[in-house]
Amino acid sequence: MSRSFYQYLQQWCREHDWTDLFVEQCQFWAFPPGSVIPVPIPTYALEGFYRTRKISIPFRLLILAVIGVSLLAVVRTVLTLSPMPLVFAFGFCVFVFAFLDEERF
């Protein structure tokens, strides 16, 4: 879970008077106004984050690079009958997604 996503949900909870945001079983929960039992955050609140967030050009280029390297590795694996291109593509994808997790974009 990215830090900006959690901050967005905290802001949404403050704006709608929900309290005590927490994550359990891969779902966001909070207490609605006047409630004593927590309920899951509504889906429209979660989708709002993705509607407001713009995808930067470097982010798009990295995603396209991952897709391109993966497709090239599949073709190369079929042509050479060796799994090594897929292994290298997997390693490349791991490093790219670790880099993207730093939230520099």
Give the model confidence (pLDDT) of 31-81 as tens digits.
999 888 999 999 888 888 877 777 778 888 989 999 999 999 999 999 999
Evaluated on CA atoms 72, 65, 100, 25, the torsion sign reads negative
pLDDT at site 93: 93
Q: How confident is the model at residue 103 (pLDDT cuts 50, 70, 90)?
A: low
Q: How far apart are CA 38 and CA 24, in angstroms?
A: 11
For residues 4 and 103, is the Cβ–Cβ distance under 8 A? yes
Examine the pLDDT at 1 and tell me if it is beyond 60. Answer: no
